[in-house]
Amino acid sequence: MALLCALVGVGLYLNTLHHDFVLDDVGTVTGHPYVMQGWRGIPKIFQVGLWQFDNVNLGYYRPLSLVTFAIENQFFPKNAYVGHLDNVLLYGLTGFCLYLLLTRIFRGMYPLFSLSVTLLFLAPPIHAEVVANIKSRDEILAFLSLILSLLFFLRHHALQSRDRRSTWRRWHGLLISGTFFHLALLSKETAMTGVILMPLTLYFVSRPGRFLLHTRNEGGACGCHYLQQSRCGL
């Protein structure tokens, strides 16, 4: 069923593959000096804001999507087809991972419930701008990374509850979760909602009163990242 969700997500936006670049893509793709440098521009991408065109600084720090644009440009310079294709594939992967997350959260319910919720998320045209607009890959990457962070966070909680012998087995899930959460923050600042989503999710899948203990490490990592961005003035 997870594969079905991925196929639906991809199929809904196959018609965007032959679209061209739009105005928003000028400042983030075709007119971004470091994206146009390919591999060589990636270190600089982590030192600047999102929009690098006509000396405009929007104050947004979202380097992860710019890194993907730089990699694309290294192999397929100014190729809108590849940009749209990657957006569509990432959207399909989002549907795949969202279904897995919902089945873990609602593990006591019939799988068709998780399937229905995932399809209801994928199908509405409200997501058209995000998938059809290459620049909006930051939205997809932030949501996808946040889903993966939640998945590994819940896996860590499950292992910690039933296996207290192997320290590495119990804690590597939390490490991976924190990594994906960091990637979500590097994608878009709205991923900060994960600080609330993680304890709330754990609250509904475990006994109340224990969730704060399991989320303090995630909250600390997020706080450090936020302070780092604030210090850089981004």
The candidate with the shortest Cα–Cα distance to 182, out of 215, 213, 212, 223, is: 223
pTM: 0.84
> CB neighbours (10 Å) of residue 116?
12
Residue 79 has pLDDT above 50, yes or no: yes
Q: What b/e string do you get for 81-90 counting C-beta neighbours within 10 Å, with b at 16 or more?
A: ebbbbbbbeb
**How far is residue 233 from each of residues 47, 99, 166, measured CA to CA in Å?**
11, 37, 42
As a whole number of angstroms, the distance between CA 150 and CA 177 comes to: 7
Residue 113 has pLDDT above 50, yes or no: yes
What is the mean predicted confidence (pLDDT) over 54-66? 81
The tens digit of pLDDT for each residue in 66-75 reads 999 999 999 9
Task: For the chain, give every domain's residue range.
Answer: 133-234
Counting Cβ atoms within 10 Å, is residue 32 exposed (0-12), middle (13-18) or buried (19+)?
Answer: buried
The candidate with the shortest Cα–Cα distance to 144, out of 8, 9, 4, 1, is: 9
Contact of 50 with 61, CB cutoff 8 Å = yes
As a whole number of angstroms, the distance between CA 69 and CA 82 comes to: 10
Residue 8 has pLDDT above 70, yes or no: yes
Task: State the pLDDT confidence band at 55, using cuts at 50, 70 and 90.
Answer: low
